[in-house]
Structure 1
Amino acid sequence: MTKKFTHALTTAALLLASPAVFAQKTYLHCGKLLDVRSGKLLAQQTIVVEKDRITAIQTGYTAASGPQDKVINLENRTVLPGLIDCHVHLESESSRNQFREQFTLNPADIAYRAQGYALTTLRAGFTTVRDCGGSGVNTSLRNAVAQGLVPGPRIYSAGMPISATGGHMDETDGLSLEQMAHAGNPINLANGPDQCRQAVREQFKRGADLIKIASTGGVLDLSKDGTGAQYTEEEIRAVVETARDLGLRVACHAHGAEGIKRAVRAGVTSIDHGSLMDDEAIKLMAKTRTWYVPTLIAGKSVADTTRTHPGYFPPVIAEKALNVGTKMQGTFARAYKAGVRVAFGTDAGVYRHGQNAKEFGYMTEAGMPPLEAIRTATLNAAELLGETADLGALEAGKLADIVAVDGDPLQDISALMRPRFVMKAGVAYRNE
């Protein structure tokens, strides 16, 4: 009996080790495959996927090699890497009720909504996102997606964004004195280098993948000015140095030129929005190779909504929306031409989730070629995240994040608005 048992175990081990018996492969037959590095569209290619990885890319249409293998026909599609949005807010979506809901929604309400927004984002072709600030539900959502409990894009969470008192992410802005007193001192508020260091460590303790700060005011808050600097260079440097010690990168919300320059000199990883960059700021960003995440769709959205839906925003926000939102695309054009490095980001949540790919159109309108725009959401975004080994291109060894569209996005960038197939880590979440 011992010999038989040993033989059975040995046989089972050999079978488990044999890919011919147990390993299921997926073969994606791609009519055209976009090599984002070379910029070439390669005809009739096969992507071979095992588990969550691309194991090979072969010329021609390779037949399945085993009875459990699967073939997906994308022969009439253009196939490209899963897209990456480096600035989203999965916890919320713009509505007339958004400010009231701060007082009526519970964390569980936010979580249920966020799950829906996450799935919408994934099905829109965005397989990875950088969530640039929420209540902490964003970090829990990241965990739930990673554990396979809910479907969604791969999430890099900033947790709660760090703000100066009275700054863009101070949620007590605009409240009565009584309400301010009742709210106390939110944990994301930090003033002075020591508090800034503590705030970074707090977000690290809560599981953040990156740190998000605001060095200027914003548009969608109740403060009267969205352009002025709100942190000193010394304070920002304290954030950056502490984050670096903990292995974290720093995303910086900034609209006004002075706040941008302070943040760049202090060493932040990215400037997000960058709406009112002056020539000095652009030159500084190009020299330091600081990433620029432009979020043009957010500026367009708030400005258009202000014009077409009077009363949608409180007057103080409406005024800022028209002042800042209308200038973002022009700033982007100047920065791109000056050689500033661009990574794709949209501020999803300021507009409806799932419309992220509209950003590509606004970028190309401003003078960026379609291939370069696609690279901002693939190669560049992967580099910003520090994930070039796994993300950003269709190559053997990388995660099987794959999108297919009708038509040729190099000729018609709007094709990216109509994904027909979306795979994340080897699992298809859309297959039309």
Structure 2
Amino acid sequence: MNLLRSTLLALAFAPAAFAQTNPFVDPYIAVRAPVFALTHARVVDGLGHAPLENQTLVLRDGRIAALGADGTVAIPAGAAVQDLAGKTVLPGFVMVHEHLFYSSITKGPFHVNEMEFSFPRLYLAAGVTSARTTGSMEPYTDLQVKKDIDAGRALGPKLHLTAPYFDGEGTGITQLHAVASAAAAERMANYWADEGFTSLKMYQNLPLDIMAAAIKAAHARGLHVTGHIGRVGYREAAEAGIDNLEHGFMAMSDFNAGRKPGDASSPLANYQALEKLDPAGPEINALIRLLVDRHVALTSTLAIFETFTPGRRVASQAELDTLAPPLRESYLTRWAAIQTQNNPLFRAAFARNLQLEAQFFRAGGHLVVGTDPTGYGGCIAGYGNWRAIELLVEAGLTPVEAIQVATSNGAKLLKIDATVGSIEPGKAADLVVVNGDPTKAISDLRKTETVFKDGVGYDTRKILESVKGLVGIQ
């Protein structure tokens, strides 16, 4: 049996020179040519500008070589050409709260399983060409997945890896390691920087002194720091130098009733404070001003919080088909229970957070977006990314602004905007082709046909078909 297993693995992962094809990648490639032209396209550049109609893009050696109105751009002799009349081209999405794991069904403590096969595929199929994994449970699996994708052995986005969570005692998640001291935080930051991770994530029970030490150590190594925090308030974290805060204002503990510095927080207390918060009040506007002035980015993760909110959508049939049967049943049971409970507090907190995220954006805040495919299984990679952008529009952003948040804003946070995040000559040909106009109906994102990464076009439908029934398994 061991010999058989070894032989099968050797064949499965044989180098391209041996098989001449890569069965994990090649069947999903729709377009691959040294020079390729897209004509008659509607182009949304990702920088917040109005869409341009009837445009021609020339892609050469994985980059955007030219962009201009039809008839003004010379199409090189021998170039492959695709007519995109009636279709829209967007930059590849740069999503910054993603994971390579998914919640499993357990009767004990919260637990997740790594989705090293299905999730990278789902991200790419939805148009996510760059993604930050905001917190790792299996760090060496994440490293290997990134290595395989970068080498062309697997499908997926360009990954920017966040190290395992920096948390304190009392999280209740057995897969997390509590960081006991400032010295331990410094050691941990340096260790994961040496291993190749580019960011750290502070978690809910981490005390301020340990968080400050981790931030200092990370910045010394050129890593950026984000956080889903609670024991530390948003103002305290900003003053300690954090670069990014996760979950919009849903994780904010600053205004919790009776809160003292260092107190533990809870979702219930956070939601109660949000419900009572006056968006026009001086306290929240002073906090928003502080975040803007200190250039602290805020990550919107509306798609995950929607799953806990009564009266919201149930997953589409396409999403349900992606789940392994036991996970599908578990999700539907929990969703139905949330509707039955119909907790008005969850509705009110979700609605207030929508309002505050738009308020932060309008105040000049650096709003970015991600999926956070965790919870009880209602938000998954790929489909959740589309939903996250749709919900930004529900919050009050225009479709063009929501696309900007999901593209160039994410690229600026990760400091990769010189090469990705917008459609401009010289940048990587990371593009999303949509059979519709998401600037008029943002839900047209679900009509994505082809996703280009470094000039290679992948067939969205074929990739989605390849992972049906696998989410929750691998």
Specify the TM-score bucket, using the shorter chain as the normaliser: 0.7 to 0.9
Q: 2:458 matched to 1:429?
A: yes
SS of residue in 1 equivalent to 2:120: helix
In 2, Cα distance between the equivalents of 1:360 and 1:283?
Answer: 24
Point out which structure has higher relative CO (alpha carbons under 8 A, 6+ apart): 2
Q: 2:96 matched to 1:86?
A: yes
Which residue of 125, 143, 150 corresponds with 1:139?
143
- Determine the structure 2 residue equivalent to 1:207: 196
In 2, Cα distance between the equivalents of 1:306 and 1:332?
Answer: 14
Q: Deviations over 1:192-219 (max 9, x none)?
A: 21111111112112221211121x2xxx
Identity of aligned residues (%): 25
- Is the Cα–Cα contact under 8 Å of residues 130 and 157 in structure 2 kept in the other structure? yes
Q: 2:397 matched to 1:368?
A: yes
Q: Whose Rg is larger? A: 1
The amino acid of 2:291's aligned partner reads M
Q: 2:132 matched to 1:130?
A: yes
Q: 2:331 matched to 1:327?
A: no
In 1, Cα distance between the equivalents of 2:184 and 2:287?
Answer: 27
- Determine the structure 2 residue equivalent to 1:226: none
In 1, Cα distance between the equivalents of 2:87 and 2:443?
Answer: 14
The amino acid of 2:102's aligned partner reads E
In the TM superposition, 1:252-263 aligns within 5 A as 252-254=227-229, 256=230, 258-263=232-237
In 1, Cα distance between the equivalents of 2:386 and 2:143?
Answer: 24
- Determine the structure 2 residue equivalent to 1:27: 37
Q: CA 1:324 to 1:247, structure 2 compared with 1: closer, same or farther past 3 Å?
A: farther
- Is the Cα–Cα contact under 8 Å of residues 138 and 157 in structure 1 kept in the other structure? yes
SS of residue in 2 equivalent to 1:343: strand
- Determine the structure 1 residue equivalent to 2:318: none
Q: 2:154 matched to 1:150?
A: yes
- Determine the structure 2 residue equivalent to 1:346: 371
In 2, Cα distance between the equivalents of 1:394 and 1:306?
Answer: 34
- Determine the structure 1 residue equivalent to 2:406: 377
SS of residue in 2 equivalent to 1:48: strand
In 1, Cα distance between the equivalents of 2:184 and 2:56?
Answer: 53
- Determine the structure 1 residue equivalent to 2:77: 66
Q: CA 1:233 to 1:431, structure 2 compared with 1: closer, same or farther past 3 Å?
A: closer
The amino acid of 2:47's aligned partner reads R
Q: CA 1:422 to 1:370, structure 2 compared with 1: closer, same or farther past 3 Å?
A: same
Structure-1-length-normalised TM-score: 0.77
- Determine the structure 1 residue equivalent to 2:168: 164
Q: Deviations over 1:223-270 (max 9, x none)?
A: xxxxxxx3333322211111111111011113x485322221111111
Q: CA 1:163 to 1:276, structure 2 compared with 1: closer, same or farther past 3 Å?
A: closer
In 1, Cα distance between the equivalents of 2:51 and 2:244?
Answer: 30
Structure-2-length-normalised TM-score: 0.70
- Is the Cα–Cα contact under 8 Å of residues 162 and 189 in structure 1 kept in the other structure? yes
In 1, Cα distance between the equivalents of 2:211 and 2:132?
Answer: 20
- Is the Cα–Cα contact under 8 Å of residues 436 and 447 in structure 2 kept in the other structure? no
- Is the Cα–Cα contact under 8 Å of residues 423 and 430 in structure 1 kept in the other structure? no
- Determine the structure 1 residue equivalent to 2:208: 233
Shift of the alpha carbon at 1:148?
Answer: 0.9
In 1, Cα distance between the equivalents of 2:81 and 2:399?
Answer: 30
Consecutive unaligned residues of structure 2, counting only runs of 5 or more, are 1-32, 256-283, 315-330, 462-474
Q: CA 1:310 to 1:422, structure 2 compared with 1: closer, same or farther past 3 Å?
A: closer
In the TM superposition, 1:240-279 aligns within 5 A as 240-254=215-229, 256=230, 258-273=232-247, 274-277=249-252, 278=255, 279=284
- Is the Cα–Cα contact under 8 Å of residues 133 and 159 in structure 1 kept in the other structure? yes
SS of residue in 2 equivalent to 1:46: strand
- Determine the structure 2 residue equivalent to 1:397: 426
